[in-house]
Amino acid sequence: MLQVNILREERERVLEGLNKRNFRQLNLVDEAIATDDERRSLQSELELNQTEMNKISKEIGMLMKEGKKDEAENAKARTATFKDNAQTLQQSLKDAENRLLDILYQIPNIPYSKVVAGTSADDNEIVYQSHDVEGLGEGAVPHWELAKKYNLIDFELGVKIAGAGFPVYFGKGARLQRSLVQYFLDKNTEAGYLEVNPPHVVNEASGYGTGQLPDKEGQMYFANEDNLYLIPTAEVPVTNLYRDTLLDEKDLPVKNTAFSQCYRREAGSYGAHVRGLNRLHQFEKVEIVRLEKPENSYAALEEMVEHVKSLLTDLELPFRILRLCGGDMGFTSSMTYDFEVWSAAQEKWLEVSSVSNFETFQANRLKCRYRTDGKTQLVHTLNGSALALPRIMAALLENNQTENGIRIPARIAEYTKFDLIN
24: CATH: 1.10.287.40
The verdict on residue 135 lying in a domain is: yes
The verdict on residue 360 lying in a domain is: yes
Same domain, 96 and 237: no
- How many structural domains are present in the chain? 2
State how far the Cα of 46 lies from the Cα of 317, in Å rounded to an integer. Answer: 63
The verdict on residue 201 lying in a domain is: yes
pLDDT single digits (tens) 255-269? 999 999 999 987 545
Same domain, 146 and 101: no
Domain span holding position 376: 121-421
Instruction: Count Cβ atoms below 10 Å from residue 55 Cβ, excluding itself.
Output: 12
In 150-296, which residue ranges form alpha helices assigned H by DSSP? 155-161, 171-190, 204-210, 235-240
Please report the sign of the dihedral spanned by the C-alpha atoms of residue 354, residue 357, residue 360, residue 361: negative
Query: Of 105, 132, 167, which residue is a domain's last?
Result: 105
Same domain, 172 and 315: yes
Same domain, 99 and 163: no
Which pLDDT band holds residue 382 (cuts at 50, 70, 90)?
very high
pLDDT single digits (tens) 153-172? 999 999 999 999 999 999 99
> Is pLDDT above 90 for 140?
no
* Least confident stretch, 98-112, 122-136, 377-391: 122-136
> Is pLDDT above 60 for 283?
yes
Q: Say what the pLDDT of residue 344 is.
A: 87
The verdict on residue 78 lying in a domain is: yes
> Is pLDDT above 90 for 216?
no
Higher pLDDT, 399 or 79: 399
Q: Say what the pLDDT of residue 270 is.
A: 52
Same domain, 297 and 360: yes
Query: Of 105, 134, 153, which residue is a domain's last?
Result: 105
Average pLDDT over residues 368-389: 96
Same domain, 219 and 80: no
Which pLDDT band holds residue 378 (cuts at 50, 70, 90)?
very high
State how far the Cα of 124 lies from the Cα of 323, in Å rounded to an integer. Answer: 6
Which pLDDT band holds residue 225 (cuts at 50, 70, 90)?
very high
Average pLDDT over residues 362-389: 96
Query: Of 73, 105, 137, which residue is a domain's last?
Result: 105
Q: Say what the pLDDT of residue 63 is.
A: 80
Residues ≥6 apart with Cβ < 8 Å to 70 = none
Please spell the DSSP secondary structure of 338-401, one letter per residue.
EEEEEETTTTEEEEEEEEEE-TTHHHHHHTEEEEETTEEEEPEEEEEEEEEHHHHHHHHHHHTE
Average pLDDT over residues 200-225: 93
Q: Say what the pLDDT of residue 72 is.
A: 77
The verdict on residue 129 lying in a domain is: yes
Q: Say what the pLDDT of residue 272 is.
A: 52
Q: Say what the pLDDT of residue 80 is.
A: 83
State how far the Cα of 359 lies from the Cα of 95, in Å rounded to an integer. Answer: 29
Choose from 59-63, 86-90, 214-218, 292-296 the range with maximum mean pLDDT. Answer: 292-296
Q: Say what the pLDDT of residue 136 is.
A: 66
Q: What angle do CA 237, 203, 370 make, to 5 degrees?
A: 50
Same domain, 95 and 125: no
Same domain, 342 and 397: yes
What phi and psi, each to the nearest 5 degrees, are found at residue 21? -85, -5
Q: How many CA atoms lie within 13 A of 176 on its CB side?
A: 28
Same domain, 239 and 358: yes
Same domain, 14 and 101: yes
State how far the Cα of 245 lies from the Cα of 248, in Å rounded to an integer. Answer: 10
The verdict on residue 110 lying in a domain is: no
Q: What is the mean pLDDT of the chain?
A: 94
Average pLDDT over residues 331-355: 95
State how far the Cα of 89 lies from the Cα of 83, in Å rounded to an integer. Answer: 10
Cis check: omega of the bond before 198, within 30 degrees of 0:
no
Same domain, 15 and 149: no
DSSP 3-state assignment of 169? strand
Residues ≥6 apart with Cβ < 8 Å to 129 = 318, 319, 320, 321
Q: Say what the pLDDT of residue 199 is.
A: 97
State how far the Cα of 15 lies from the Cα of 11, in Å rounded to an integer. Answer: 6
Q: Say what the pLDDT of residue 90 is.
A: 95
Which pLDDT band holds residue 69 (cuts at 50, 70, 90)?
confident
CATH code of 277's domain: 3.30.930.10
> Is pLDDT above 60 for 348?
yes
Same domain, 69 and 157: no
The verdict on residue 116 lying in a domain is: no
* Least confident stretch, 55-64, 370-379, 395-404: 55-64
Q: Say what the pLDDT of residue 29 is.
A: 98
Which pLDDT band holds residue 184 (cuts at 50, 70, 90)?
very high
The verdict on residue 113 lying in a domain is: no
